[in-house]
Amino acid sequence: SSGINAEWPLRPGEDFDKTREVYRTCLNIIPHKKFTFGKIWLMFAKFEIRQKDLSAARKILGTAIGKCPKPKLFKGYIDLELQMREFDRCRKIYEKFLEFDMSNCNTWIKFAELESLLGDTDRARAVFNLAIRQPLLDMPEVLWKAFIDFEVEEEEHDRVRALYSSLLQRTKHVKVWVSFAKFEASIEEGARARAIFREADKHLQQNQLKEERVLCLEAWKDFEMEHGNAQSQEEINKKMPRRVKKRKRIDTEEGGEGGWEEYWDYVFPDTEGDSSKIKFLQLAKMWKKQNDQTGDGDDGDGDDSSSDDD
């Protein structure tokens, strides 16, 4: 209850020393190595600020992050220094925050945003560059997007391209390809955008990523409808797949053949011939399996055929 009393606004004539002692007692009782209450530290620091004792508030928060570093405490300390416009102190706290957790993408982004707001583009870029090199990140896609958005805002188009290229070495996710192409389209670089779509489509086709390929082609088609000509629009229309209903047999838990299941599939014009060949081979394999079962034990030819199947 004493901790709650300490939070009450003090009226003129009330005992500041007594309130301060309540906070200290409360913080002495809490076993900080096992758990802590970040809110108590922040309340104590804010109390000292109301008493116009900034150095005491800093000492409290410095002790807090030394004893029990928690994101809430780091953020509270940074907010305090921002209000005081002590930007060098903010930098030092961000550095401590990142020593505590190098994988926290939000911290890296906020640090870079601070440098950017202060007009120090080189420092902001250096923070981002250091961030993307970390071996473990909690939200890498958010960090990369923030870095790319930063360079787009700076109109550093070659740097944006270099970032997308680096990102595509790490992940070939369709959203990265599409975002890269859309960036080029946004700065009237239609030929570059088209080349990216082509490269993405080729990669997705080779890796048989049908759903992703459809997303890519749809984005490409939207681009051509807006920026292309009759010839480029015809080219993309010829690439669009057909959506067909198919059936596949379901195996039972015992390994036998169960019923049939219907599902939707995409048939692409440039792979239609390949799928016919695959279907033919599957039918031939089924026929051979049935033939082996019915003719099992008739003669010695069965062993040669099963080895051919391997």
Q: Using one digit for the tens of pLDDT, what is the confidence trace for 35-67?
A: 556 777 788 788 777 777 777 888 888 878 877
Mean of pLDDT values over 216-236: 95
Mean of pLDDT values over 124-149: 97
Q: Which of 55, 66, 60, 68 is nearest to 43 (CA)?
A: 60
Bridge partners of 63, per DSSP, are none
For 231-250, write each residue's pLDDT tens digit.
999 999 999 999 999 888 88
| pLDDT for residue 276 | 54
Of the listed ranges 1-10, 87-96, 182-191, 292-301, the least confidently predicted one is 1-10
CA distance 21 to 24: 5
pLDDT-based confidence at residue 309 (cuts at 50, 70, 90)? very low
- What token pair was written down for 270? 């440039």
Whether 11 shows a pLDDT value over 70: the answer reads no
For 173, phi then psi, to 5°, come to -60, 140
Assess contact for 114 and 80: CB atoms under 8 A.
Answer: no
- The residue with greater pLDDT, 79 or 181, is 181
Q: What percent of the chain has pLDDT over 70?
A: 77
| pLDDT for residue 148 | 98
CA distance 73 to 137: 21
Q: Structure pTM?
A: 0.72
Assess contact for 182 and 162: CB atoms under 8 A.
Answer: no
Q: Which of 265, 267, 266, 262 is nearest to 247 (CA)?
A: 262
Whether 200 shows a pLDDT value over 90: the answer reads yes
Identity at 81, one-letter amino acid code: E
Mean of pLDDT values over 14-32: 64
Q: What percent of the chain has pLDDT over 90?
A: 54
Average pLDDT value for the chain: 83
Mean of pLDDT values over 250-269: 82
Identity at 110, one-letter amino acid code: K
For 75-123, write each residue's pLDDT tens digit.
988 998 998 899 999 999 999 999 999 999 999 999 999 999 999 999 9
Length of the chain: 310
How distant, in Å, are the alpha carbons of 173, 218, 243, 264 from that of 202? Answer: 13, 15, 20, 22
CA distance 77 to 42: 8
Q: Which of 206, 179, 209 is nearest to 193 (CA)?
A: 179
CA distance 100 to 84: 24
| pLDDT for residue 1 | 32
| pLDDT for residue 47 | 79
Whether 5 shows a pLDDT value over 80: the answer reads no
